[in-house]
Chains A and B, each alone.
Chain A
């Protein structure tokens, strides 16, 4: 017999139910139906955890690698992984490879739009796939680190540490990119956007996306255990550009970007199904990252938040032919994810076909896997050790105020 349900619940109570194999876990999609059928109160009593998911390009991602020391020792000063430069301004054999770093000899946008076939994201995908990666390194040599040259294969299996350390992932909400230019298609991090309002790109899982299901960051904070690219990872900080005080709708859901997460997880446990190097035509390399976050239903408020649906979440429509690049103008309007996912939105009286950059199919898979892990007692929820900055902090993402240097370059 199941124990009597009570709300509010604690993290410890929910984890105890997970341990006993009694936890009731549903995906954020299933929660919508449940709340619609049974109401917020009953749903809050019944459900312990709601799982979320998202899979899309997330440029602020990268991996920390410790290669182990060479003999003789070497303090690596410059390094390339499959010809992709890695950052070496750390200790002797610690490297950081960022997903947007292109290969050394990439022609970039010399022949616009550039293809950016291989970059840091692809290196990380190859590492996760347990493929050998070529490491070439140079050093200037010191008394303690005499070696100056290195050319070797490495493999994630034999690296001391290899972990994703992503400064900004899982944007709470995101812009819809359109192109007001009548002259040309544009090539952006939101994909190809066709001229004269010819297409509209969007990039969020909407109702399945983690931070849209916990709009005020009540349960997602520093220390939250998450699904990261197929492994168990953690939120380690607010993401860069975390901007909780952006405008919100009556339901508390931000009407634009807003919150972000910094996340970490072990590369050795990851799966390329949920981490992919990506090439955005005319923009650059990046990687698509899969993230899933469990949301404990502590009380009715969390039940209400996790029942948010696409029709109630709106995103700002922004011109990327000029306004975005020049920080000018205002959104052309706001549209709901229900409209975006229908295949067409209406802007300025015109029907515009929509193009998703974020895979809803993968987001569903991730929420489903996380649900399975928790149901099987393999994944426990973790109470944040510190909450993220909330809207009442007034924290906003500020532009850079330039203070030109006399005689400087600009």
Chain B
């Protein structure tokens, strides 16, 4: 099993087609939607993590491309500089996907990279510049 985080762009004419649902059902994939939007150009934008067998993932993504969906891997990553982080929590309210949360037991700020959509809002919001963009 493996997980890939991908950015899917749906042209306007595909917006009313159940492509995502077919993709996960036909190719036996699990999905975790990180972000869904309609852009200013009226195309659909979907950022999600897809989990499945490697072969199924590849077949599924190829099929979706054939339907006209534009697919890119989520290429940017936000990473945390562990030495710089003071575990204050100033970042948690700007994170739209709850990738940054406070563990109520340890009082540490937990960064769950799997939930991160690389929106980068935490980068300037961190007083200690502990959140960095890696390409």
Using A115-B124, A279-B127 as known contacts, say yes or no to A355 and B93 having CB atoms under 8 A apart: yes
- Which of B6-14, B23-31, B104-112 forms contacts with chain A? B104-112
Interface presence of A60 (CB below 8 A): no
A281–B125 touching, CB < 8 Å: yes
B86–A356 touching, CB < 8 Å: no
Nearest-CB residue, chain A, relative to B88: A359
Interface presence of B90 (CB below 8 A): yes
Q: Which of A55, A192, A279 contacts B93 (CB 8 A)?
A: A192
B89–A194 touching, CB < 8 Å: no
Q: Which of B89, B108, B124 contacts A357 (CB 8 A)?
A: B89
B107–A191 touching, CB < 8 Å: no
Q: Which of A193, A278, A355, A364 contacts B92 (CB 8 A)?
A: A355
A364–B107 touching, CB < 8 Å: yes
Interface centre among A57, A191, A278, A353 (most CB of B within 10 A): A191
Give the CA-CA distance A73 to B5 in the complex, in Å. 63
Using A356-B88, A362-B86 as known contacts, say yes or no to A191 and B127 having CB atoms under 8 A apart: yes
Q: How many whole Å from A398's CB to the nearest CB in chain B?
A: 30
Which chain A residues (171-200) contact chain B, with CB distance < 8 Å? 191-194, 198-199
Q: Which of A192, A276, A279, A360 contacts B94 (CB 8 A)?
A: A192
Interface presence of A280 (CB below 8 A): yes
Which chain A residues (327-371) contact chain B, with CB distance < 8 Å? 341-343, 353, 355-362, 364
Give the CA-CA distance A194 to B129 in the complex, in Å. 20
Q: Which residues of B contact A278 (CB under 8 A)?
A: 127-128
Interface presence of B102 (CB below 8 A): yes
Classify chain B's interface size.
Answer: 10 to 19
Q: Which residues of A contact B107 (CB under 8 A)?
A: 341, 359-361, 364
Q: Which residues of B contact A113 (CB under 8 A)?
A: 124
Give the CA-CA distance A279 to B125 in the complex, in Å. 8
Q: Scoring B residues 101 to 125 as 1 if CB is less than 8 Å from chain A, else 0, what string do you get?
A: 0101011100000000000000011
Q: Which residues of B contact A198 (CB under 8 A)?
A: 93
B128–A191 touching, CB < 8 Å: no
Q: Which of A355, A359, A364 contacts B86 (CB 8 A)?
A: A359
Give the CA-CA distance A198 to B96 in the complex, in Å. 12
Nearest-CB residue, chain B, relative to A193: B93
Interface presence of A26 (CB below 8 A): no
Q: Which of B87, B102, B129 contacts A362 (CB 8 A)?
A: B87
Count of A interface residues, CB-CB < 8 Å: 34
Give the CA-CA distance A342 to B90 in the complex, in Å. 15
Q: How many whole Å from B116's CB to the nearest CB in chain A?
A: 18
B125–A192 touching, CB < 8 Å: yes
Which chain B residues (63-94) contact chain A, with CB distance < 8 Å? 86-90, 92-94
Give the CA-CA distance A277 to B86 in the complex, in Å. 11
Using A117-B129, A279-B129, A364-B107 as known contacts, say yes or no to A355 and B124 having CB atoms under 8 A apart: no
A55–B86 touching, CB < 8 Å: yes
Q: Which residues of B contact A360 (CB under 8 A)?
A: 87, 107
B108–A361 touching, CB < 8 Å: yes
Interface presence of A56 (CB below 8 A): yes
Give the CA-CA distance A356 to B107 in the complex, in Å. 10
Q: How many whole Å from B97's CB to the nearest CB in chain A?
A: 14
Give the CA-CA distance A14 to B124 in the complex, in Å. 47
Interface centre among B88, B108, B125, B129 (most CB of A within 10 A): B88
Give the CA-CA distance A341 to B92 in the complex, in Å. 13
Q: Which residues of B contact A193 (CB under 8 A)?
A: 93
Interface presence of A288 (CB below 8 A): yes
Nearest-CB residue, chain B, relative to A189: B127
Q: How many whole Å from B130's CB to the nearest CB in chain A?
A: 10
Q: Which residues of B contact A279 (CB under 8 A)?
A: 124, 127-129
B125–A191 touching, CB < 8 Å: yes
A342–B104 touching, CB < 8 Å: yes
Q: Which residues of A contact B108 (CB under 8 A)?
A: 361
Q: Which of B88, B104, B124 contacts A288 (CB 8 A)?
A: B88
Nearest-CB residue, chain B, relative to A199: B93
Q: Which residues of A contact B104 (CB under 8 A)?
A: 341-343
- Chain B residues in the interface with A (C-beta under 8 A): 86-90, 92-94, 102, 104, 106-108, 124-125, 127-129
25 pairs, CB–CB < 8 Å, chain A vs chain B: A113-B124, A191-B93, A193-B93, A194-B94, A198-B93, A276-B86, A278-B128, A281-B125, A288-B86, A288-B88, A341-B104, A341-B107, A353-B93, A355-B92, A356-B90, A357-B89, A357-B127, A358-B88, A359-B86, A359-B89, A359-B107, A361-B87, A361-B106, A361-B107, A362-B86
**Other A-B pairs, 5, CB within 8 Å; known A193-B93, A199-B93, A278-B127:** A55-B86, A288-B127, A343-B104, A359-B88, A362-B88
- Chain A residues in the interface with B (C-beta under 8 A): 55-57, 113, 115, 117, 191-194, 198-199, 201, 276-281, 286, 288, 341-343, 353, 355-362, 364
